[in-house]
Structure 1
Amino acid sequence: MRTLAALLLLWLALAVPARADELRPGYIEFAEQAPGQWSLAWKRPYLQPPPEPPPPPILPDNCTYQGEVRQGAAGGAVLGRADVRCTGAVAGKTLGVADLIGQTDLLARVIPLDAPAQAIRITAATPQATIAAEEIRPPVWRTYFVIGVEHILEGWDHLLFVIALVLLLRSWRQAVIAATAFTVAHSITLAGASLGWLAMPQRPVEVLIALSIVFLAVEIARRDPARPSLAMRLPWVVAFLFGLLHGFGFAGALAEIGLPDDALVPALVAFNLGVEAGQLLVVGVTLAAIAALTRVASARLEPAMRLASYGIGITGAYWLVDRLAG
């Protein structure tokens, strides 16, 4: 019990500083404005401010920076912009960074004038990636599926919502149905926002997402199977309604990364499938932990769940106040 409590408190302590949609999307956008003239923009999130500004992205070997490289820090990330001059085609050349300073990867979007846009994944293992030739299609499905999985696993608020839902229900069937309803709902608003059909300011979305976590924490603390609350009687309805809000949060983070114009629908579908896969993984791990605790020390299950509800509630309340004040 003490070990479980210590691990839970440590995890919550690490989660507290997180902002909404902690996918912490990092990206590089390399867009051709006129033949040979390119604009370069980048965002490199960090957990701790770097001691000195990181070097700008590494350009293809036939490209050079033109004029001033503008770079600064804001909102937990290094932001930069520059003009670039390239001689000849960039297909077959490499684009990347010297190192990654806090995020697991970056998504580079290369947008030539005379070829389809493409997405290139830059990781610690491959900090420089090759720009595909025009006839080679980028792996849109794989790229955005992985981004979806990472979003639910690294997006602290969405992750905490799913965990809280499982702690409330404690049933494989109910948890999977509720998680799927959550996915269906956020898929609706995510698609609507990404296609420009729906819109909601990000500040209210962030506040309401934090409120949804506080709501579930209270439901866990006052859980009584003899007198089930609405969230226990109709968990899929609650998950669906809150999922509509979380979808706008997903859209805000995904908008920063960007979607390929020529493969928008496949990218959206792959992203949502990735989110669902990540959610089911979280559901499975959380239920397995509950089952293990029940077998080893069933008398300590309820105190552990109450402790978890307090930790989740405190974290959600912190985010709520922080987002209202910010």
Structure 2
Amino acid sequence: MSHASGSCRTGVLLLGFLISFLAACVCVSAHEIRPAYLQIDQIGQNRFNVLWRTPILSGMRLPVLLKFSDGIKPVTEQMERELSDSVIERNVIESPGELAGQRIDFVGLQATITDVLVRVSWLDGRKATEFVRPAQPWIELSDRQAAWQLAKTYTTLGIEHILMGFDHLLFVVGLMIIVSSTRSLIKTITAFTVAHSITLGLATLGYAWVPADPLNAAIALSILFLGVEVVRLWRGQTSFTLRHPWIVAFAFGLLHGFGFASGLTAVGLPSSDIPLALLAFNIGVEIGQLAFVLLILLLHRALRALQFDPPRWASYAPGYLVGSLGAFWTIERTLMLF
């Protein structure tokens, strides 16, 4: 199979899927949806520190308010601090009895697409971590949680992070367009996976760090780079990237790993949860990524079975989308640096 013919056939299959989320990609400027975070720590008899962190999306604070069960009351003034990507509120509450079993409502959450990660800890060592969804914007606190439940929570976070990270998915699309065979695809995706797993671990454990704005610009540039390589492929030219896509995938995968880490650290990950959370989150990212790749391959096979004959422009649309969105995001994010 030639590079050109392989690219065209793969491009046809990717077209429908890419167009389906193109509007969403542009609207969110390729930023993943960061969850809100609620941390409640017992500090005394029926007294708890409360940290409520809400993300700032498109320059606006998430319009969600906390509403505790009747009887739970604040005992200190609320302190608020605004960061570049979120707003943090702190205060102390007092419960008339055991906090487990009490209900918290997240007023306004149902009108958003943002989840809330809730973590509660007691002085006797009990801990619980759960997700709250917009479809059910409330939670009844529990004081019992098995390790598998915690792992499930962070695995879900990883899956959602990659599936809502349109820039990461578009990079994977670019890789799939330039590979010439199934073997090359497996090798390339594996290299990307290994690379971003390395930097995800290093960043989460605190051994490496990249500022968010330059990182986002660099990730956009990696997508633009693949767009250029797709055009070179169509022209029948060659390059180091087209001959060895797995090496380029590994190099840029190191960069994307820092982006994945932001999704894990943005929720204020407690140090005690890091080992299990890191493993589960990475597994979730891989599940989401493999599901995305398999979906495209299944579409490919389905269209071949149907002997679908698309117009010529459809074969090239995915490549142009990769390059155009990569260019748009690169310019947008570079301007944000200044």
Fold in common (TM above 0.5)? yes
| 1:236 CA drift (Å) | 1.8
| 1:150 CA drift (Å) | 0.9
Aligned counterpart, 2:222? 212
Deviations 1:283-313 (A, max 9, x none): 112223344445534564x632422122222
Alignment partners' CA distance in 2, 1:32 and 1:298: 64
| 1:19 CA drift (Å) | 4.1
**Consecutive unaligned residues in structure 1, runs of 5 or more:** none
Contact kept, 8 Å, 2:81 with 2:89, in 1: the verdict is no
Contact kept, 8 Å, 2:34 with 2:114, in 1: the verdict is no
Alignment partners' CA distance in 2, 1:148 and 1:38: 27
Deviations 1:79-110 (A, max 9, x none): 45141322344223233413333225221122
Q: What number of residue pairs does the alignment pair up?
A: 322
**CA 1:296–1:104: 2 relative to 1, 3 Å:** farther
Q: Could you tell which deviates more after superposition, 182-191 or 64-73?
A: 64-73
Alignment partners' CA distance in 1, 2:148 and 2:38: 16
Contact kept, 8 Å, 2:223 with 2:323, in 1: the verdict is yes
Aligned counterpart, 2:159? 149
Alignment partners' CA distance in 2, 1:293 and 1:76: 42
Alignment partners' CA distance in 2, 1:251 and 1:34: 33
Give the SS at the match of 1:115. coil
Alignment partners' CA distance in 1, 2:112 and 2:80: 17
Q: Could you tell which deviates more after superposition, 130-139 or 141-150?
A: 130-139
**CA 1:325–1:201: 2 relative to 1, 3 Å:** same
Q: Does 1:43 align with 2:51?
A: no
**Consecutive unaligned residues in structure 2, runs of 5 or more:** 1-10
Give the SS at the match of 2:38. strand
Aligned counterpart, 2:7? none
Which of 220, 235, 249 is 1:239 aligned to?
Answer: 249
Alignment partners' CA distance in 2, 1:89 and 1:180: 48
Alignment partners' CA distance in 1, 2:115 and 2:199: 26
Contact kept, 8 Å, 1:46 with 1:101, in 2: the verdict is no
Q: Could you tell which deviates more after superposition, 286-295 or 273-282?
A: 286-295
Give the SS at the match of 1:223. helix
| 1:157 CA drift (Å) | 1.0
Q: CA RMSD in A?
A: 3.4
1:116-265 matched pairs, under 5 angstroms = 116-133=126-143, 139-169=149-179, 171-224=181-234, 227-265=237-275
Alignment partners' CA distance in 2, 1:138 and 1:116: 15
TM-score of the superposed pair, with normalisation by structure 2: 0.81
Contact kept, 8 Å, 1:188 with 1:247, in 2: the verdict is yes
